[in-house]
A = this chain, B = another copy of it.
């Protein structure tokens, strides 16, 4: 994550992982989730914060999840079911359940199928927000598989040359285990910048960079710009402009619609809101393709080689996706998770409102 999105040190309040997990689970139980589901939801959010992915952790998401449960937009007790199935596939009706809670269950089905026939692919419609898609991909990596996850969300991004939003930021994640090196965990929006990062930039007072958004007419804004009010801009696909490759970001978003939306038998959110968000979960069993120990050894060799790449002038080192997050997780497990003081205020308010014990800070 770019520095511009980080909580400034003066605004940080640190909380311990266990305390945050407890409070988040208690809040989820108060909006009518089962204790088991509340624990899953807390695990997904807190793990995401531990990895430093604030855009999709507690601070940026919990508030909106609680509001959506309270408004009845999310079903706290979804009666989700498999509507079509084959040895390597399943299509699920998510019945309006929150994605961060149904995601791990869908990925479990994909993993079990991959154990049996080599690959497991699960799609889901009637879904709600999936959180950090990388979290779900990682569940497969922990079982010696390559995991993938995608989600198709509400429109906010213009297609290349367009002046109307068509697709969501439609993120894609892939995770793969290594032997001694931290796992690869690649998790990115197919838009130039994740939607939640615009919210983070607004909170920490940072500008948006050239090529991230377009004006109301669809003209890409190619200078640095303050965050515009909601409704006054569109997001641009990865690449920003056609010359810089926005047709690739647009095509990747379309790929997500094909894999998640079309393969769950539905239409994009922008054409049919009634079928909610759509998700895609994939588990590729390494043992079906290659020797698992050798695969992990190869991963180590490749990842060390990437880390040892000579840096360009002015750059400190070359990273790979998942490395910084692994380092951040070690630091945060030890020293706590830094939340913005404004988020702490919200916790005070919501715990008192719901009758939950206050969040303990460090």
Contacts and interface: CB of A to CB of B under 8 A. Distances in A.
Interface of A: 2, 84, 86-89, 91, 117-119, 121, 123, 146, 158-164, 166, 174, 176, 184, 186, 188, 192-193, 209-211, 214, 217-219, 238-240, 242-245, 247-248, 250-252, 254-255, 257-259, 261-268, 270-271, 284-286, 288-291, 294-295, 298-299, 301-302, 305-306, 309-313, 315-321
Given A188-B251, A311-B161, A319-B161, A298 B262 contact: yes
A88 B289 contact: no
Given A84-B289, A239-B244, 15 more contacts: A86-B117, A86-B118, A121-B289, A146-B259, A159-B309, A160-B319, A163-B311, A163-B313, A176-B262, A186-B254, A257-B302, A263-B290, A264-B290, A265-B289, A265-B290
A329 B86 CA distance: 36
Contacts of A295: 262-263, 265
B239 A271 contact: no
A92 to B, nearest CB: 10
Nearest to A185: B251
A243 B305 contact: no
A263 B244 contact: no
B119 A219 contact: no
Contacts of A192: 244-245
* Number of copies of this chain that the complex holds: 2
Contacts of A219: 312-313
13 contacts: A86-B118, A89-B285, A161-B319, A164-B310, A166-B309, A174-B255, A176-B258, A186-B252, A186-B254, A188-B251, A259-B284, A263-B284, A268-B302
Nearest to A237: B245
Contact of A211 (B176, B214, B244, B247): B244
B265 A291 contact: yes
A81 to B, nearest CB: 15
Given A239-B238, A302-B257, A320-B254, A311 B162 contact: yes
B84 A309 contact: no
Contact of A162 (B255, B259, B312): B312
A294 B91 CA distance: 15
Contacts of A299: 262
B88 A312 contact: no
Given A88-B88, A255-B186, A271-B302, A263 B310 contact: no
A88 B87 contact: yes
Nearest to A178: B262
Instruction: Rank and list the top 6 A-B pairs by shortest CB-CB distance, nearest first.
Output: A218-B312, A265-B290, A86-B118, A89-B118, A161-B315, A186-B251
B244 A240 contact: yes
A114 to B, nearest CB: 8
A163 B310 contact: yes
Contacts of A209: 243-244
A313 B88 contact: no
A311 to B, nearest CB: 6
- Residue from A119, A163, A317 whose CB has the most chain B CB atoms within 10 Å: A119
